[in-house]
């Protein structure tokens, strides 16, 4: 009996110890969680995406949240009206608005007699009504006295530049064989005097850009008889950088007194067109030479003299004014076509001799057709 009680007592003590140990172990496992045995949820075997995990990842990410890329609305290119797509430029040949500096015969000064409208009275309206007019100015504009010992030496007074401005002549080429008649000082004076009068000029060292009333930029570069195309390619590139969409090359090249271009003239002109020039305008031979169309671009190999004070008599008075319509694309960004109008002229209004007042030949006269034949241009080409 006693032994049975002892065994029951020991069994009760052992049960008590086991319960206490299990309670302690559970308490240790749940330390710091605030949970009690009663609050432990039953384990689920279903897999679910944890929304809480997604929130934590967004919170700790160090990458900036990308903003939405704005939708860029393209700027529409301006569309030019048909009439505004046409840029008209007039071209005429060699002009010396003076006489030989050493000559005692001041025929030019006497004939003009200070009348700044005299020389261009028969073409001024045409020049004023175009977008731009370009001629070759074949004399320095200076008051220097030291000069070369050439056959002809030309020096023009700055006041005579008013002849150009009053006639609507906005631009000149000064890359020619007489520009150095009074040495480098004469060239520097010429550039300054032209700048002072607001007349654009270009040669094989400097370019100029004319902006029309429609906002279209015309770039100009000049080449003398000894200038290679490689010497001006950088200048042509600069014109494009400045926004010129029409590029004109004035070339004072070829041989004097002949009616056909030399092989070098053709080579230079073709290279310029190949490099992206729109039109090549030639002077120097003192004679008319044919117009060539090369790769859909025009080359005027020689426009002859136009108003040439250095010649008192004329063995060949034929000259010409050529107007070119540059047809632009709708945006005004490039020239897409060309249209020419030919106006046969005489360098003088009275013959024989030279009165330094160019006059148009009568329509379909013998003189008119002679000019057209020398240019190899027919009325149907206009």
Q: List the structure tokens of 37.
A: 């045995």
Between CA 91 and CA 317 the distance in angstroms is: 17
**94 within 8 A of 136, measured Cβ to Cβ:** yes
**173 within 8 A of 137, measured Cβ to Cβ:** yes
Tell me the percentage of the chain whose pLDDT exceeds 90: 75
Is the model's pLDDT at 224 over the cut of 70? yes
The contacts of residue 41 (CB under 8 Å, 6+ apart) are: none
- Global pTM value: 0.80
Q: Which of 217, 274, 213, 260 shows the shortest CA–CA distance to 241?
A: 217
Name the CATH topology of 85-381. Answer: Purple Acid Phosphatase; chain A, domain 2 (3.60.21)
Q: What pLDDT score does 83 carry? A: 86
Question: Across-strand partners of 137?
Answer: 95
Distances, alpha carbon 83 to alpha carbons 40, 80, 329, 335, 336, in Å: 89, 8, 12, 14, 15
122-176 pLDDT per residue, tens:
999 999 999 999 999 999 999 999 999 999 999 999 999 999 999 999 999 999 9
Is the model's pLDDT at 258 over the cut of 50? yes
Q: List the structure tokens of 227.
A: 């200038």
**122 within 8 A of 358, measured Cβ to Cβ:** yes
- Could you tell me the sign of the dihedral formed by the alpha carbons of 259, 316, 124, 175, in that order? positive
227-257 pLDDT per residue, tens:
999 999 999 999 999 999 999 999 999 999 9
Q: List the structure tokens of 304.
A: 């002859």
The residue written with tokens 């172990």 in the block is 25
Between CA 100 and CA 118 the distance in angstroms is: 19
The residue written with tokens 């004023």 in the block is 128
State how far Cα 328 lies from the chain centre.
13
Element (H, E) at 327: strand 318-328
3-state SS assignment for residue 84:
helix
Between CA 83 and CA 371 the distance in angstroms is: 30
């Amino acid at each position: 009996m006693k032994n049975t009680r002892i065994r029951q007592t020991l069994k009760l003590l052992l049960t008590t110890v086991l319960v206490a140990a299990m309670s302690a172990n559970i308490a240790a496992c749940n330390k710091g969680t605030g949970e009690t045995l009663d609050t432990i949820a039953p384990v689920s075997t279903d897999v679910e995406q944890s929304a809480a995990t997604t929130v934590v990842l967004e919170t700790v990410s160090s990458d900036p949240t990308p903003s939405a890329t704005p939708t860029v609305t393209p700027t529409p290119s301006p569309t030019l009206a048909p009439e505004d797509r046409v840029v008209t430029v007039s071209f005429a040949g060699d002009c010396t608005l003076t006489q030989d500096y050493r000559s005692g015969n001041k025929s030019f000064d006497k004939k003009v007699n200070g009348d700044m409208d005299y020389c261009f009275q028969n073409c001024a309206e045409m020049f004023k009504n175009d977008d731009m007019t370009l001629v070759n100015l074949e004399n320095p504009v200076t008051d220097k006295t030291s000069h070369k010992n050439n056959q002809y030496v030309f020096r023009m007074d700055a006041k005579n530049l008013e002849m150009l401005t009053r006639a609507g002549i906005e631009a000149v080429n000064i890359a020619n064989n007489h520009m150095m008649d009074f040495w480098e000082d004469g060239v520097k004076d010429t550039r300054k005097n032209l700048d002072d009068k607001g007349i654009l000029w270009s040669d094989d060292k400097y370019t100029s850009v004319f902006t029309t009333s429609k906002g279209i930029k015309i770039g100009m570069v000049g080449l003398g008889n000894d200038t290679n195309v490689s010497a001006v390619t950088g200048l042509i590139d600069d014109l494009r950088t400045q926004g010129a969409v029409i590029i004109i090359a004035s070339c004072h090249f070829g041989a004097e007194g002949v009616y056909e271009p030399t092989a070098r003239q053709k080579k230079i002109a073709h290279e310029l067109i190949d490099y992206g020039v729109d039109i090549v305008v030639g002077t120097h031979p003192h004679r008319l030479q044919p117009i060539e169309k090369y790769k859909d671009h025009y080359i005027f190999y020689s426009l002859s003299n136009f108003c040439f004070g250095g010649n008192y008599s004329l063995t060949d008075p034929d000259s010409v004014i050529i107007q070119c319509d540059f047809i632009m694309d709708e945006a005004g960004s490039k020239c897409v076509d060309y249209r020419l109008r030919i106006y046969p002229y005489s360098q003088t209004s009275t013959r024989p001799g030279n009165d330094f007042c160019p006059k148009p030949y009568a329509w379909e006269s013998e003189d008119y057709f002679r000019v057209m034949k020398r240019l190899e241009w027919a009325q149907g080409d206009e």
